[in-house]
Structure 1
């Protein structure tokens, strides 16, 4: 964008808006693969009207490309798994690698994909095929500058994200305030009815797993493996550590699609 519009604030903000808009478009395309047309539109409305997406479309942070590449990874993975597209296996690897270049949270993409193939008996055959492993290899190659930079700088970035953050993890007098601040901020950026719907859906899935030893199936499982670890994981650690307002964003993508399967039209005025 700077090549076209010059080195200025407007070109940077235009890039943020363009990348966010592309992410929203592919979110709708992903929704159209999973949901009916009406529910895909509902999902797109929920995501596009969220405060967090509006802020990110004008704010230059690693979350801007992360949202785009995370969405693209889910879009291509769904095409590869359920439509048998070999090309989309390679694209899945590309998008996962680019997402990792954006933010380390994207490590949950290949882990989620692996969990999906292990849990779903209809997809387990993919573990015997080369496409899955080549997509992971592509992702690792694309993300290799991260390893090379860390190797040349005493693994400073890895150390900050693990040891340094872990040193301040634990219960304290601030735990109640941390939990309250987390819940309040998340309901602000994604709206209470959406956040509570996602939290409720996680509860329903976990209840079925506990009582009936049964995972969600089909598209619900596809969304769950990319939604629950991020959303529920950060929610559970929020009393022990200051969870930043933007950390749950990748989980919102799968979460919004999941709740849109059941979302009631009468809830929209409360959105």
Structure 2
């Protein structure tokens, strides 16, 4: 039964990945896959390599871009099964562990939405699995494997660094701490992780530590206290993990932490700390900062392992029968209702004609760019323009996706995003008229203040989804100006907008 469910859910993810247009961030990461870079301003390079794998197999298609996420889901379930099997030796617990991700929207459906986090998840789980094998066998060589997978996880997403407190607690709290502190294996594992992560360090050393500075500014910029962002974070976790599965997971993690730190059990310490520390950190940051929808994705599969292990541990530790029955019942309810919800959401986006959420719809809010691209193509033909200019990375990414290299597309500002990128086609840009495509009212911004460009309005086009207007875009003909693709860091066209002191301009992202 579990195998049938997993096979059916995998097919759902494949259909979803193939049928739905790319979202803006997905197209943005696709543009990275066309560059040979050791790192990017926003993130480490692993997601670009993941996409390159999929597009090598299936071409520049929706499925090609998203295929690696489907593979990552299967690999994550295998790793979860191995972790739970080694700790519990219980087949039912293993089955529960592999079904729980299917019951969470984060993974049951959205592992088909490509993001750096989907690359981080299997590597983070592989690191946890290596440490579980270390606890099982006592073989110090598993520290080396943990270092390898930890480095690969960091090469996928910087937030994985929040797993370090769990690794430190796993090393220092149990009675074995003296043995491992004086062993070369943990330190060699750390060196392996650093070596694997070195492409990011090399790129940043060559570019004034740009990506670290980017993340530091975003995380530490002063913001006002807000219950709204706190509510957004809690609501997002309830929706993406599950209204039943989230409290089931948090309660299991609480018991696992109590068990681990009371008895100094290494695996319980590792699993609970790996989830509770980042969960509480994001909870604290959500008082002033909107937490991104994918940021916590790397931690919850570790919590699902704790749920399955906790169910086996409760009767072994003599907990009351009513509590054991209740825990099992809620876990079953989480699986059943969660998978049903994932299927309903899949059907809504793939088969239904309605729009219940209006402009707030997370998928529809980024759909309809083909309408903008079609209008842009008409204006290129009628005006003789040979290239397209944009002033936000979302429009840039979607137009690059739809034009597939037939026309140079350039984001004229925030050039720090494109450090080391190859020539987009300056022979078709320099001295030629261009077409400026911009979301209204951003076309009245100060991006053109210090340029010599002459702008001729050409009209506008609406981006719609299921009958709802999501955005309106202005189109303008550009003459008398050639963009500087490598402006100095002091230029207003170089800096990312938060670095330029304009955090509200990208708040919608």
TM-score by length of 2: 0.48
1:201 Cα deviation from its structure 2 partner: 4.7
Structure 2 contact 166–271 (Cα < 8 Å) conserved: no
Task: Return the alpha-carbon distance in structure 2 between the equivalents of residues 110 and 176 of structure 1.
Answer: 29
Residue 79 of structure 1 is matched in structure 2 by: 133
In the TM superposition, what are the counterparts of 1:26-175 in structure 2 within 5 Å?
26-35=79-88, 36-171=90-225, 175=226
Task: Return the alpha-carbon distance in structure 2 between the equivalents of residues 58 and 42 of structure 1.
Answer: 21
State the number of aligned residues. 265
Change (3 A) 1:6 1:241: closer
Structure 1 contact 16–59 (Cα < 8 Å) conserved: yes
Task: Return the alpha-carbon distance in structure 2 between the equivalents of residues 216 and 245 of structure 1.
Answer: 34
Structure 1 contact 202–232 (Cα < 8 Å) conserved: no
Task: Return the alpha-carbon distance in structure 2 between the equivalents of residues 101 and 253 of structure 1.
Answer: 19
* 1:213-246 CA-partner distances (Å, limit 9, x unpaired): 8476343112122121112221233222211222
Residue 182 of structure 1 is matched in structure 2 by: 233
Q: Which runs of 5+ in 2 are unaligned?
A: 1-52, 312-326, 338-509
Change (3 A) 1:3 1:247: closer
User: Of the candidates 232, 241, 248, which is equivalent to residue 197 of structure 1?
Assistant: 248
| 1:259 maps to 2:307 | yes
Change (3 A) 1:208 1:256: closer
1:183 Cα deviation from its structure 2 partner: 1.2
* 1:123-168 CA-partner distances (Å, limit 9, x unpaired): 4421110000000000000001111111122212111211332113
Residue 225 of structure 1 is matched in structure 2 by: 273
Q: Which moved more, 1:143-152 or 1:157-166?
A: 157-166
1:207 Cα deviation from its structure 2 partner: 7.8
* 1:39-60 CA-partner distances (Å, limit 9, x unpaired): 2221221122211013333111
Task: Return the alpha-carbon distance in structure 2 between the equivalents of residues 90 and 235 of structure 1.
Answer: 32
Q: Which moved more, 1:217-226 or 1:66-75?
A: 217-226
| 1:22 maps to 2:75 | yes
User: Of the candidates 243, 246, 249, which is equivalent to residue 294 of structure 2?
Assistant: 246
Task: Return the alpha-carbon distance in structure 2 between the equivalents of residues 218 and 148 of structure 1.
Answer: 35
* 1:63-116 CA-partner distances (Å, limit 9, x unpaired): 111001001111112112331334432221111111001001122334421222
Task: Return the alpha-carbon distance in structure 2 between the equivalents of residues 201 and 30 of structure 1.
Answer: 16
TM-score by length of 1: 0.87
**CA-based RMSD:** 2.5
Change (3 A) 1:64 1:266: same
| 1:10 maps to 2:63 | yes
Task: Return the alpha-carbon distance in structure 2 between the equivalents of residues 195 and 3 of structure 1.
Answer: 37
Deviant stretches of 4+, over 6 Å: 205-209
Larger Rg: 1 or 2?
A: 2
Task: Return the alpha-carbon distance in structure 2 between the equivalents of residues 182 and 51 of structure 1.
Answer: 15
Task: Return the alpha-carbon distance in structure 1 between the equivalents of residues 79 and 259 of structure 2.
Answer: 31
Task: Return the alpha-carbon distance in structure 1 between the equivalents of residues 60 and 274 of structure 2.
Answer: 37
Change (3 A) 1:206 1:40: closer
Task: Return the alpha-carbon distance in structure 2 between the equivalents of residues 43 and 195 of structure 1.
Answer: 14
Residue aligned with 2:93, SS: helix
Residue aligned with 2:208, SS: coil
Residue 269 of structure 1 is matched in structure 2 by: 333
Structure 1 contact 24–48 (Cα < 8 Å) conserved: no
Change (3 A) 1:123 1:254: farther
Residue aligned with 1:244, SS: coil
Residue aligned with 2:169, SS: helix
Task: Return the alpha-carbon distance in structure 2 between the equivalents of residues 10 and 205 of structure 1.
Answer: 39
Residue aligned with 2:168, SS: helix
Q: Which runs of 5+ in 1 are unaligned?
A: none
